[in-house]
Structure 1
Amino acid sequence: MPRRIPQLIYRLNQWRMHKISNRNFLVILAVVVGIVGGLAAALLKGLTHWIAASLQDDVQWQYKYYLYLFFPLIGILLSVLYVRRFIRRGTFEHGMTPIIYAISRKSSRIQSHNIYSQIITSALTVGFGGSSGLEAPIAYSGSAIGANAGRFFGLNYREVTMLLACGAAAGIAGAFNSPVAGMIFAIEILLPEFSIPAFIPLLMAAATASVVSRLIYSEPLFHLVTDDWEFRALLFYLLLAAIVGLFSIYFAKASSWVKRAFDRINNPYQRVGLGGMSLGLLIFLFPALYGEGYLAIQRILDGRMDSLLANSIFAEYSHIGLLVVVYAVVTVFAKSLASLITISSGGNGGVFGPSLVMGGLLGFAFAYGVNLTGLIELNVANFVVAGMAAALAGIMHAPLTAIFLIAEITGGYALMVPLMLVTALSYLINRAVLKYSIYTKGLAEQGDLLTHEDKDRTVLSMMKLRYVLERNFTVLRPDEKPVDRRHDIIHTKRNIFPVVDNDGKLLGIIYSERLFEILLGENPEKADRTMRELAEKPVDIVQMDTNMESVMQKMNREDIWILPVVDAGGNYMGFVSKSAVFNKYRALLMRQGAYLE
């Protein structure tokens, strides 16, 4: 029976290739991916909120302060234990960066366990109070659904990449009930260059996921219909955008600091302990940091301006307006630290959700603080919404996603002009200092980021030296003489010979012209010389771990067509030539140009 299943799948795939065009089949698969992605999003939201509700119901508030110290630790520990116990053969990663890396470097391959492991670990992390978002895990899960569906049906790299993006779009659309934002998110973050046909599968996947998720889990993220914006408040929107833009720079830098700090801790359980206790202490002081943090934003949108302090140890001071503003600002920085600690210590989550919360709190603190001055009366809810959009645009470098996501989840279409302004300004401020987003910075530093601003460097960065290494060269030994290898030298198709000792060390190279002169009697005085004596030092040598951009720089600098390659110990590995590099370059360029046609 097991043998007949692959045969049945093969026959089914053969039938569909003859009956259905790839373009139409891709749309059908996009709908299927959308359905499964919507189910996954509903499952993740429902499971996370069930865990959080189970921990919080029927517990008196005065005792919750102490429980908060331990809940996040338990959640992160359970997440780490799950990964170490059940994901032994694969690797487990979180966030959007691995998805982008999979597109750039791994032919859009994502291990299938991510379909469910992302849901389980993020539900445990966030449900127990981890201060991160569910959006990155569900986008990862959706990407795994799309990528593995494409590989199951034997689709090519371009089509698998499109389905991967459809899965991510479905996850975001299902998580927020925002199909337009899901589609734009996939385009801005995962598909930096796209053609019009790419819209169709993305639209189908995002819309389907949104419908399915809404049928199963219909609770909206926010309950709000924003008011129209006023012209006199326009300058304040711009000021808020500048503040949020500067904060987004701080957050990106803080992300690197926190990650490096936790990376120094080799023992995973020590990371869990330190992170869990630190997070518990932060939540004890700032209860709004528990979980995603959307509840705190909703209370502010409902007009409960003192809600941030209501359940904290500072609750008795909630009537002091200035203290509310200060507490909100401190909560923003505490949220940034809490979300980064959650992720770096072993929990699973993303910075998508925390970005919304931090931006919303900055918008609240700004508008509420201005109102306290009595100079002007700003609509606090509108500025909360604008702050959310500005933070998302600055931190993620995704202004279009920010505009349409916020408009969809808050009903803030009346604020379209302020949203466009704050997202553009925040993005420009962040981009002026940081060329890459929080998702792509690490990949860019490693040379693993596929970009379209410099195609030559991008394509070269996609190459690995081992894939263009040529080994079909006649190897000469140092004690041999030209006459000893007469037959091999004459019949070789190469014009260069490596001289390698018995230990595999490269001693030098000899060009065929020099050997032919000796064998033809034109240089009889050198006929008795050994290969060691005849060998010459190469112009340069390439180490096996050298990136291809450096290899091409060496070749161009020395104006040479071919270079020997050795490993770290100086052992001969082969040669790299411009011909092989150019052939690989053309193949990758064609693939890169085709993956979004």
Structure 2
Amino acid sequence: MTSFTKIKKNFTLIVLQKLIIVSFLISILSAFLAISLKRTTEYLEGVFFLKAANNTIYMFVFPIVGLLIIHFLREYLFKKKQNKGITEIFDATKSKNKSLPIYKIPSHFVNGLFTVAFGGSTGIEVSTVVSTAAIGAASHRKENVFRNYKTELICVGITAGITILFSSPIAGILFSMEVIAKKTNKIFFLTNIIALTIASALLLLLNEEPLFNVTITSWHFYAIPYFILLGILAGINSVFLTKMVLFFKSQFGKITNGYYKIILGASILSLALFTFPQLYGDGYHAMKDLFLTPNPIATLGLIVTFIGILILKTIVTSATLASGGDGGVFAPSLFIGAFLGLLLAAVLNTFFHVNVIPINFMIIGMAAVLSASIHAPFTALFLVCGMVNDYTLFLPILMVCLIAKYTSKMIFPFTVYNYSLAGK
């Protein structure tokens, strides 16, 4: 072995050791950030929603207060710098010159918290993803040897964050692979396995419970045609969500006065919350109640209510994001999928007497709409299975997620994340 080969080998080992150490640090920081944001948001959202449920005047007060707080923070603390969500991560990973600045950590953390806690109809998932990605991005600015591994280290933070949010290590690394990195290598797997291990250990240490406590007994082959129908409907609904978000952002972008945006967005949100309190915040509280509905009858009132919720959820999510709220389409997609699945099951059982299992349709619907919204079927599969801590529906979820994704791509080939990257 020549001296040059020895030097090269030693240098490679040193870089590898440094990558392992920095991956541990990024994973720990990202995991604690995610659990802090998750638990703080859950607590405040619960307190504020209870207050608003008991006194509906707060349904009109909270949204405008939340959006104003975010506006003032952006104007005076973060120096008028806009949060663009996951698009910022794509910009950082695609360009050698761009990165995620440190201020993205507190900016997305605080803005995501205030958006959801004060009733903004979105979730903290994108806030968590960008802030943890910023932790990963910070490392490559400290050490020149990490510059070639910027994407891998950004994904380390994201993997840890998603693992914590949804109690699913596999969903964490799959999201990094399917949505962010697009391609992988040995360094990616080494660093991101460290991330999911650290995050999983924290979940065990804190005895973190699955988000939804449900009991799934079985599924039947005769339901497959109806699952396929659910997949097609999920794909159509996801396109409606995507196009509505893009439309609202385009129209609100024409409003130059920030306060007018806030007033308009808060007005739309407040009226919707007053009509359907289920739309408050991330909507997980409404989904938990929905799981307690064993076998609803598809009365005219139920059908009209569910259709109204499905349409308004898309509108208020779009209005929240367009008027300055922080978040993305994760929680809205899960919410839409749950209501869509239960509505379809109720209609099938009431009018066609096919005897499908409603809870199965809710869970599959959640995964299907998410898969179609972000074009990541495997992430959606493991994420939803992690949320209910049950893999009984693994095969039908996989099938429906793929159907939903390709249905949505046939209608509209973009997501809210890659639309601007395509030059649209």
> TM class by shorter-chain length?
over 0.9
1:28 equivalent in alignment to 2:13: no
Q: 1-side partners of 2:301 and 2:313: how far apart? A: 18
- Matched with 2:229 is 239
1:93 equivalent in alignment to 2:83: yes
Is there any run of 5+ residues in structure 2 with no aligned partner, and where? 1-9
- Matched with 1:84 is 75
- Matched with 1:296 is 286
Q: 2-side partners of 1:116 and 1:213: how far apart? A: 23
Q: 1-side partners of 2:112 and 2:418: how far apart? A: 22
Is there any run of 5+ residues in structure 1 with no aligned partner, and where? 1-16, 307-318, 447-597
Which whole-Å deviations, capped at 9, do the CAs of 1:336-384 have from their partners, x for residues lacking one? 1111111110111111111111111111111112111252111111111
Q: 2-side partners of 1:268 and 1:216: how far apart? A: 41
Q: 1:325-404 alignment to 2 at 5 Å? A: 325-404=303-382
- Matched with 2:158 is 168
Residue type of the alignment partner of 1:71: F
Counterpart secondary structure, 1:150: helix
Is the CA contact (8 Å cut-off) linking 1:251 and 1:336 kept in structure 2? yes
Counterpart secondary structure, 1:376: coil
Q: Which has the higher contact order (CA 8 A, sep 6+)?
A: 2
Is the CA contact (8 Å cut-off) linking 2:245 and 2:317 kept in structure 1? no
Is the CA contact (8 Å cut-off) linking 1:174 and 1:214 kept in structure 2? no
Counterpart secondary structure, 1:346: coil
- Matched with 1:47 is 40
Q: Which has the higher strand share?
A: 1
Residue type of the alignment partner of 2:16: R
Q: 2-side partners of 1:217 and 1:92: how far apart? A: 36
- Matched with 1:193 is 183
Q: 2-side partners of 1:108 and 1:187: how far apart? A: 20
Q: 1:141-290 alignment to 2 at 5 Å? A: 141-213=131-203, 215-216=205-206, 218-290=208-280
Q: 2-side partners of 1:129 and 1:304: how far apart? A: 28
Counterpart secondary structure, 2:191: helix
Which whole-Å deviations, capped at 9, do the CAs of 1:506-543 have from their partners, x for residues lacking one? xxxxxxxxxxxxxxxxxxxxxxxxxxxxxxxxxxxxxx
Counterpart secondary structure, 2:348: helix
| Number of residues of Structure 1 aligned to a counterpart in Structure 2 | 415
Is the CA contact (8 Å cut-off) linking 1:130 and 1:291 kept in structure 2? yes
Q: 1-side partners of 2:298 and 2:407: how far apart? A: 33
By how many angstroms is 1:102 displaced?
Answer: 1.6
- Matched with 2:421 is 443
Which whole-Å deviations, capped at 9, do the CAs of 1:472-516 have from their partners, x for residues lacking one? xxxxxxxxxxxxxxxxxxxxxxxxxxxxxxxxxxxxxxxxxxxxx
TM-score by length of 1: 0.66
Note the aligned Cα RMSD (angstroms): 2.1
- Matched with 1:66 is 57
Q: 1-side partners of 2:238 and 2:12: how far apart? A: 51
By how many angstroms is 1:237 displaced?
Answer: 0.3
Which whole-Å deviations, capped at 9, do the CAs of 1:13-50 have from their partners, x for residues lacking one? xxxx9795222321222222111111111111122122
Please identify, of 350-359 and 323-332, the stretch whose mean Cα deviation from structure 2 is larger: 323-332
Is the CA contact (8 Å cut-off) linking 2:64 and 2:262 kept in structure 1? yes
By how many angstroms is 1:288 displaced?
Answer: 0.7
Which whole-Å deviations, capped at 9, do the CAs of 1:218-276 have from their partners, x for residues lacking one? 24311123222100111100000011111112222212211111101111111111101
Counterpart secondary structure, 1:92: coil
Q: 1:455-470 alignment to 2 at 5 Å? A: none
Percent identical: 29
Counterpart secondary structure, 1:339: helix
Is the CA contact (8 Å cut-off) linking 2:152 and 2:187 kept in structure 1? no
Is the CA contact (8 Å cut-off) linking 1:94 and 1:350 kept in structure 2? no
1:75 corresponds, among 66, 73, 89, to 66
- Matched with 2:5 is none
Q: Classify 1:134/1:62 alpha carbon distance in 2 versus 1 (closer, same or farther; 3 Å).
A: closer
Counterpart secondary structure, 1:155: helix
Is the CA contact (8 Å cut-off) linking 1:386 and 1:422 kept in structure 2? yes
Q: 2-side partners of 1:144 and 1:296: how far apart? A: 32
- Matched with 1:526 is none
By how many angstroms is 1:155 displaced?
Answer: 3.3
Is the CA contact (8 Å cut-off) linking 2:298 and 2:346 kept in structure 1? no
Q: Classify 1:263/1:415 alpha carbon distance in 2 versus 1 (closer, same or farther; 3 Å).
A: same
- Matched with 1:494 is none
Residue type of the alignment partner of 1:81: F
Counterpart secondary structure, 1:21: helix
By how many angstroms is 1:175 displaced?
Answer: 1.1
